[in-house]
Structure 1
Amino acid sequence: MASKELVVALAGQPNCGKSTVFNMLTGARQHVANYPGVTVEKKTGSFKLGDSRVELVDLPGTYSLTSYSLEERVARDFLLGDNPDVVIDVADGSNLKRNLYLTLQILEMEVPALLNLNMMDVVERRGHAVDVEKLEDILGIPVVPTTAKKGVGREALKTAMQALAHGRKEDVFKVDYGPLEPFIAELEVVLVEDPVSCLRYPVRWLAIKLLEGDAEAGKQLTLNHPDSEQVLAKVESCRERFAKENPNGADRHIAFTRHAVCAKIAKDVVTLPRERGHNLSDTVDKYVCNRYWGPIILVAILVVLYQISIVFGGWLALKVWPVWGALEDLAGDILPQAGFMTDPLLRSLGVWVVKSITAILNYLPIFFLLFALIAILEDSGYMPRMAFLLDRLFRRFGLHGQSTLPMILGGVYVGGCAIPGVMATKAIPDERARLATILIIPMMNCLAKVPLYLILIGAYFADVAGWAMFFIATVTLFMALPVAKLLSLTVLRKHDSAPFIMEMPPYHLPTISGILRRAFERIWLFMKKIVTVVAAVAVVVFVLINFPGLSEEKMAHYASMQDKAVAGFVQKVDATQYAGQITSENTTAVILFGEALKQAKRGVKDKETSAAINEDFQAKNPIYYAVVKRVGKDGKKLNRELKKVIKVRKKIRREMRGERFENSFLGSMGKALEPVTQWAGFNWRINIALLSAFAAKENSAATLGAIYGIDDSGQSVQESMKANEGGFTPLHALALMLFMALYPPCVPTSIMVRSQSNSTGWMLFSIGYQTVLGLFVASLVFTGGTVLGLTGWQTMWAFYGLCLAATIGMAMIPTPEEKEAAVSAPTYNKECS
């Protein structure tokens, strides 16, 4: 008999242990992707059930199945459109009244459902008792108790699942909406007049959703029903007639009725202890959610998270870097050898692409720790408390309490990274606030911006370096908040804003296996989305920054410098015992031999290992080794001469690189932008540095170093820039710092913006608006400071005051929600039994 494939959906409210149930059933056979067309994470797994193979789909955790949030729409569309064979509704057995609200909505969808009462260990610990048989009798569906984190109830759940897949009861519980029932019946009659259009949805469910005023239900009706206008008119008539007789209105009546039914069922089947004291969660929340202690604890937790993920993760990344360095070395060994002046195209391109990828891979320790810590915050139950504490403040700027973590990760002070910051916005349920957060995360101070800050502060604000760093570290927040508010009032105003319904779940102790599994899942998803695209973009940037190349005259000039240096070295060789053995043809090979020896001994501190490496290289080529390691009188003499050749080689390659930058497509773009950027005080050299930073912001400092010709004298970047860029003042430096602060997202971040917003349009908007905003602010500071005769220091604090005033002013402007009475204030729902 051929095995049958069953599709089973796993639904449930947040913090009910749904992910633990998923892991209990599937083990390691999991796959993480996104639902088609949306950014919501899709986790699927498989396991055997008798002679059937089960595909288990973990739906997003939702409190209800309305159309307020993207997660709710995704879960609802899957249940109605994908026709799963079984729907497992996972409920927190210790908080049954709240969890039944989702159960009732699933039953109204007329899908084959069973109720999984999870976390029964918490039920027992609290002294509660649930009459499972009576609950099963009332609901008319199977009810299976489990303690998923211990694997208790796994087989019973599978057995119930298998039985339900082969047949289900018809007498499933239905909510009696009392005075609304005649209106529901009236709409059912209208909807079934054209049965073809109603095949996709249960008629009673659709009638209830229309009476609720569900926007998505109305949209689907318009698309599928031939007389949708007539039906919608009937819906509006029913709502108006009901509202005249009932003060709550249809939507509120439906919600209140469901809550009342949930409370009655819970009262009938749950036995509570006679004396109910405060549980641990309530005791902890007295401090965690306290008006004064709460923010202090929140800051402490965020500092710890920052120290572990960014600081310790950065240290760990340095320790792991030899692995990526070895990958770069391996690529260098496989690719064609370097030349004296230039490298073969295949080598240059290959090394460039590999280094672009390793630059991203270098962040993996940070991301892994970050994802693990986020999993701890989510599983422990603290994440909702964090959102609760900051939501009232952030709502003033069109953000959400859960915007806190993305902003911290992005570098709300100094030292974050925009990539994980944008990734962390996935948890924000409010679509408008989520997009607003995504669009301001690149304005935070990621680590990659810091090198340029340090160069400019060291060169032009050295005497007040601490205050200058404080300025740039904090002013970004006072620019980002007004921008978020402005975006919410303009381009984002039509996007859905879900009511802020927050439930404070009981605290849980996260499991190590669960934390590691989720961290690895997110790391793998990150690598698949980012690394492949980075490789493709690296090729494009390589072409832009290296072509069309230098003219024949320039190449001839550098070739003559090479010939002169090599000829002088060979002349010295001919006066030694190595005459004829080292010629102009193999001089480059001697230089590369010395570089390979240094590379082999990089990081080696053990004398015996170092000696073994020396012996190995000496055996490969004793002549080259003698020159490189100064063996004997002739070796010492030729080593001094070789260093002169190496110095000339570095100078040639550095100058060629600088001129290649200037003459490249990117250089031409830099010069073309001068008429626009001159108002910000930028010349073509600064423009090139800024354009190269689009690939990765670290490039801005590296490109400046290449352009301003850092030599081997030990001169720092800031000293070289100050010496070679005449007329550049602290005012220029301030404008450049602010432009970098508002700089468009780099390529990897742009890719992540595209991924999380699920829109190329929003990615391009993010790049475009930040470019315009950055140029406007830089021009305002430079031109305004010049016209007013202010110094860079004076302009810095005048601008700071302007940003602070703008932040306060924008906070006073009412949000769209404050203008609408229905969603004028967030609802905080704390139910801790």
Structure 2
Amino acid sequence: MKSSGQNVTVGLAGQQNAGKSTVFNMLTGANQHIANYPGVTIDKKVGSYRNRQGRVAVVDLPGTYSLTSYSLEERVARDFLLREKPDAIVNVIDASSLRRGLYFTFQVLEMGFPVVMALNMVDVAEARGRAVDAAQLGRLLGVAVVPTVARKKRGKAELRQAIRQIAGVRQGLSGAAEGGFRVDYDVLEPAIATLSDRLATSKTLVAMAPARWLAIKLLEGDVGTRTLVRTHHVAAEAVLAETDVATEAFEAAHAISTGDHIVSCRDRAAADLADRCQQATLPGAVHLSEKIDRVLLHRALAPLFLVATVYLIYELSIVQGYKLTTLTWPALAWLRATVAGLLPDPGLLHDTLIRSLALWMVDSVNTLLNYVPVFLILFVLIAILEDSGYMARIAFILDRVFQSFGLHGQSTLPFILGGVFTGGCAVPGIMATKGIPDERSRLATILTVPYMNCLAKIPLYTLLVSIYFTAHKSYVMLFISTITIIMAMIVAKLLTITILAGRETAPFVMEMPNYHLPTPVGVLRRALDRTWSYIKKVGTIVVAVAVCVYVLLQYPGLPQERLDHFDAAMQRAVSNFQEGIQDTAYADLLQGPRILELLNVASAYREAKLAATNQAASAAVDARFEARHADLYPLLRPRDAEARSVNRALRTLAGERSTLRTRIREETIVHSYFGTIGRSLEPVTRFAGFDWKINVALISSFAARESSVATLGVLFQEGVDENITLEERMGREGAADGRTSLHALALIIFFVLYPPCLATTITVKVQTGSYKWMLFSIVFPTIFGLAVAGGVFTVGRLLDLSGIQAMAAFYLLALLTAVGLAFVRDPAWARQGAAIIEKKGA
């Protein structure tokens, strides 16, 4: 991007957790938007601001530790710099971790761009007893260094001024401004100089990047640079062959790879600069984060703290939070009654399409909205973990485990986003795998992230636990939260030693930020935002799925002979009612359509009285119905013998009507398209304890996980007219059908391993670029999940185990299997260097 007049474009570059996004917000304010880099799914934040000289466009590049071609973020940042040619680079560095940040700075300088350094978080450095001499650092590097505290907007004017002064001042082909800093690569310098001369003969190449930078990248073994040279240099093969010879000679003479040598030279240079430019004002002081980590990251204590954290999250959100649904359900029941009152009145047996479809959607949404208190508490707890810094420690602890199962350290973030706790989503989790540099671990992560406890799975878990495991809620939720990780590790190991064996691996860099005290406003804002996102999803995707499920469950409908049968039964019930009241004063009143009106008014009255929370509200209901239905009200609150006789006959008629309506709904679903599919699967799914209703709910959840509970809410209809919760309806019907906690356990296990939802499978296709892997992500979990759930259910029944007993046995077996697989030698183990775990400020 060339400057146009007084308008310039600036690239904002730096390592992760250096405060780059905060600097971006400080420079651009609200004038920013989100896009994608061409051809990739990485977000590109673009903002701008104006001053007297003109407009400055700021592009926030992905946070990265280097400019190699390992990860997608690194390639995106580097390709942007090479192709777009910004007028300046603002290199954001964490002042409290100067040495680590300089490693990236050297690479930006070698690319020959005009650089302004934003020395951010100087207040944190001072608090940790480190005073950085910005002027001295600027002189040694040959760049402008501006101290900033971006979150307080300190240094904003100075940074903008420095950008204007440096923008467009190009550096030389050597990759450093005159008099600027240049890393000395010691014994590798002659090879760099020779290759630089050879590369400089290509005007196309040196127009893209300095020859010295290209030579260094070739000696590092950078695949992207080799491709660049092969594409734009006429003697590319000779240059690459010379590179290989120089590399082999160096490694033979020094017993170290050229890449490692380059890394160590940069690190030594960074250490030297850091020593010359910063002073310890509190020598010997140990930062609070270090003290905390000595306990929380202790080899023996870390797993205990992690398990305790998971247990506490589920105890507070799922177990205690569920108690709050006693407050939300009356409000949702009132909402349903209100909507029902606005719709056409129900018929004796058959409702109009507009009424049945509208109430279907309300029931689907209400079932999920009832869990909003659970999610709100859950999101508050997760926000606290994120803001405090412990979430990064969780990544560190889990990384030790991941490496034993053929996964990469950077698999941690996708699993966390997917729902290591809960509240995640597999879609962003899979999207986050683009940062994993090697194909094997990336594919294994993509295929196992859907096992995590995404937000959409929680309603079904909560429903089943509340019905079948009321005495063991905390233990069952702990089982759910940890069995997902165990099963993901088992599957990942099996994949990496079989179909993914032999694929390339790469090094890992991870950073842990300092601990911070979460702010109530920040935590609450994030929790409310995520809860609102859940509500919007319920109001959009779930409603759309509910309409599709409605059609598939209502059509083609009952045969005419069955409809005639039910109509005849209803007419007999009406005739019996009329015969029972013919000797009363109300016989003439209750003729023809007035019987249906009385039935509907009585139903609405009963629901209103149930929703009344106190005596005053109950009295208000009586007054309202007496005013609206003066002639029928005496039959709702009978005070004389004849009215009581009619009321008894009315209750009998209403009961028979409710029974017939329930039977019609059930038979309609049985004969529907969805019901036919569900019943056709019963010969297979019965080994896991699934009947056709469970099959239908599982099929509908492929479109959206939340739809499983929404579908169950409309499949288990008995009692829905009483406005009682789905838990009560399923529990009542389950007890009659012989469903036990073992059935619930099998369903939980299958749901853990169930194929990803439609949106996730599409994301698998996008991230892998392969329909083969998309289909594999559907077929394999279906077969594997059904086999595991069926095995647990079948063995549990043979041994006469309860759900909690079978759960304990399965958990122990899975844990032992995972431990055993951890010691299985990986035939493809070939990591290109040890994992590097850096603490911020180390």
Asked if TM exceeds 0.5, the reply is yes
Matched, 1:484 2:492: yes
Q: Evaluate the alpha carbon distance shift between residue 151 and residue 324 of structure 1 in structure 2; reply closer, same or farther with a 3 A threshold.
A: farther
> What's the offset of the Cα at 1:145?
0.8
Which of 808, 812, 830 is matched with 2:819 structurally?
Answer: 808
Cα deviation for residue 649 of structure 1 reads 2.6
Counterpart-to-counterpart distance in 2, 1:23 and 1:544: 49
- 8 Å CA contact 1:708–1:720 kept in 2: the answer is no
Give yes or no for contact 1:430–1:496 (8 Å, CA) kept in 2: no
User: 286, 290, 303: which is aligned to 1:295?
Assistant: 303
In structure 2, what is the Cα distance between the partners aligned to 1:129 and 1:472?
48
Aligned residues: 820
Q: Which has the higher mean CA deviation after the structures are superposed, 537-546 or 416-425?
A: 416-425
1:313: how far off?
5.1
Per-residue deviation, 1:543: 2.3
Q: 1:771 aligns with which of 762, 782, 789?
A: 782
Per the alignment, residue 390 of structure 2 pairs with 382
1:606 and 1:806 map into 2 onto residues whose CA distance is 56
Structure 1 partner of 2:95: 93
* Correspondences of 1:448-597 after superposition (within 5 Å): 448-450=459-461, 478-492=486-500, 497-512=505-520, 514-515=522-523, 532-569=540-577, 582-597=590-605
Q: Is the 8 A contact 2:466 2:473 kept in 1?
A: no
User: Could you say which residue in structure 2 is the equivalent of 1:828?
Assistant: 837
CA 1:408/1:15 → structure 2, altered by over 3 Å: closer, same or farther? Answer: closer
State the AA in 1 paired with 2:649. Answer: E
What is the rounded CA distance, in whole Å, between the counterparts of 2:363 and 2:38 in structure 1?
A: 32
1:803 counterpart letter in structure 2: A
**Structure 2: stretches of 5+ with no match in the other structure:** none
Q: Shift of residue 773 of structure 1?
A: 0.4
User: 1:423, 1:756 within 8 Å by CA — same for their partners in 2?
Assistant: no
- 1:710 is displaced (CA, Å) by 12
Distance 1:343 1:25, change over 3 A: farther
Residue in 1 that maps onto 2:61: 59
Contact 1:46 1:54 in 2 (8 A): yes
Q: In the TM superposition, what is the alpha-carbon distance from 1:597 to its structure 2 partner?
A: 4.6
Q: Separation in 2 of the partners of 1:356 and 1:78?
A: 46
- Residues 564-610 of structure 1: CA distance to partner in whole angstroms, max 9, x if unpaired? 33444456666655556554335444444444455556654244344
Distance change >3 Å, CA 720–CA 662, structure 1 → 2: same
Q: Give me the whole-angstrom Cα distance separating, in 2, the residues matched to 1:729 and 1:526.
A: 31
Counterparts of 1:6-85 in structure 2 under 5 Å?
7-27=9-29, 31=33, 38=40, 40-45=42-47, 47-50=49-52, 52=54, 56-85=58-87
Question: The residue matched to 1:396 in structure 2 has which SS?
Answer: helix
8 Å CA contact 1:402–1:427 kept in 2: the answer is: no
After TM superposition, the structure 1 stretch with the greater mean CA deviation from structure 2, 480-489 or 681-690, is 681-690
Q: Summarize the alignment of residues 558-637 of structure 1 with structure 2, pairs less than 5 Å apart.
A: 558-569=566-577, 582-597=590-605, 603-630=611-638, 635-637=643-645
Q: Distance in 2 between matches of 1:400 and 1:716?
A: 45
Aligned residue for 2:117, secondary structure, equals strand
Matches within 5 A, 1:123-272: 123-165=125-167, 171=177, 173-191=181-199, 195-196=203-204, 200-219=208-227, 231-272=239-280
SS in 1 for 2:405: coil
Secondary structure class of the residue paired with 2:348? coil
What letter is aligned with 2:66? S
CA offsets 1:595-653 (integer angstroms, 9 cap, x no match): 44555566542443443444334333323444344466655444333322322232122
Please say if residues 32 and 44 of structure 1, whose CA atoms lie closer than 8 Å, have aligned partners that are also in contact.
Answer: yes
State the secondary structure of the residue aligned to 1:254. helix
Match of 1:275, as an amino acid? P
Q: Distance in 2 between matches of 1:364 and 1:253?
A: 55
Note closer, same or farther for the CA distance 1:591–1:175 as it changes in structure 2 (3 Å cut): farther
Instruction: Assess, with a 3 A threshold, how the Cα gap between structure 1 residues 210 and 597 changes in structure 2: closer, same or farther.
Output: farther
Q: Would the aligned equivalents of 1:93 and 1:118 in 2 still touch at CA under 8 Å?
A: yes
SS of residue paired to 2:832: helix
AA aligned to 1:552 is: Q
**1:430 and 2:441 matched:** no
Asked whether the 8 Å contact 2:371–2:459 carries over to 1, the reply is: no
Distance 2:32 2:320 in 1: 30
Q: Given the alignment of the two structures, is residue 395 of structure 1 paired with residue 403 of structure 2, yes or no?
A: yes
Partner of residue 742, structure 1:
753
CA distance in 2, matches of 1:91, 1:43: 19
Is the 2:717–2:729 Cα contact (8 Å) retained in structure 1?
no
Q: Residues 206-244 of structure 1: CA distance to partner in whole angstroms, max 9, x if unpaired?
A: 333232122344455566667765554443333223334
Q: Is the 8 A contact 2:387 2:516 kept in 1?
A: yes
Following the alignment from structure 1 to structure 2, what is the Cα–Cα distance between the partners of residues 152 and 395?
A: 42
Q: Distance in 2 between matches of 1:633 and 1:697?
A: 48
What TM-score, normalized to structure 1? 0.82
Question: For residues 347 and 675 of structure 1, what CA distance do their matches in structure 2 show?
Answer: 35
- Give 1:116 shift: 0.8
Q: Measure, in 2, the Cα distance between the counterparts of 1:456 and 1:371.
A: 24
Residue type matched to 1:141 in 2?
Answer: V
Name the stretch that deviates more: 707-716 or 630-639: 707-716
For structure 1, which segment, 370-379 or 132-141, has the greater mean C-alpha deviation from structure 2 after superposition?
Answer: 370-379
Report the Cα distance in structure 2 between the residues aligned to 1:224 and 1:89, rounded to whole angstroms. 29
Structure 2 residue 709 is the aligned partner of structure 1 residue 698: yes
Asked if 2 retains the 8 angstrom alpha-carbon contact of 1:134 and 1:269, the reply is: yes
Kindly indicate whether the alpha-carbon contact (under 8 Å) linking 1:47 and 1:54 is maintained by their aligned counterparts in 2: yes
Partner SS for 1:90: strand
For the residues of structure 2 that align with 1:339 and 1:368, how far apart are their CA atoms?
40
Match of 2:356 among 333, 348, 351: 348
Amino acid at match of 1:775: L
Contact 2:16 2:65 in 1 (8 A): yes
Which whole-Å CA distance do the structure 2 matches of 1:368 and 1:78 have between them? Answer: 40
Identity rate of aligned residues, in percent? 43
Matched residue type, 1:10: L
Tell me the secondary structure at the aligned position of residue 339 of structure 1. Answer: coil
Task: Give the 3 Å change call, closer, same or farther, for CA 560–280 of structure 1 in structure 2.
Answer: same
Task: Please tell me whether the aligned partners of residues 755 and 778 of structure 2 are also in contact (alpha carbons under 8 angstroms).
Answer: yes
Q: Note if contact 1:504-1:832 (Cα within 8 Å) is conserved in structure 2.
A: no
Provide the residue aligned with 2:287 in structure 1.
279
Contact 1:406 1:422 in 2 (8 A): no
Higher alpha-carbon deviation: 144-153 or 126-135: 126-135
Q: Matched residues in 1 for 2:380 and 2:467: separation?
A: 36
Task: Please give the root-mean-square deviation of Cα atoms over the aligned residues, in Å.
Answer: 4.7
Distance 2:734 2:254 in 1: 75
C-alpha contact 1:457 1:469 (8 A) present in aligned 2: no
Cα gap change, 1:808/1:286 in structure 2, threshold over 3 Å: closer, same or farther? closer
User: C-alpha distance in 2, partners of 1:223/1:318?
Assistant: 67
In structure 2, the residue matched to 1:673 is 681
Tell me how far 1:810 sits from its aligned partner.
1.0
Deviation of 1:314 (Å): 4.5
Q: CA deviation at 1:436?
A: 4.0
| Structure 1 unaligned blocks of 5 or more | none
Residues 1:60 and 1:513: Cα distance change in structure 2 (over 3 Å): farther
Which segment drifts farther, 389-398 or 240-249? Answer: 240-249
Specify the alignment match of 1:655 in structure 2.
663
- The CA distance in 1 between the partners of 2:835 and 2:526, in whole Å, is 30
Task: Measure the CA separation in 2 of the matches of 1:366 and 1:455.
Answer: 13
Shift of 1:340: 3.3
Judged with a 3 Å threshold, the aligned counterparts in structure 2 of structure 1 residues 499 and 146 are, in CA distance, closer, same or farther, namely same
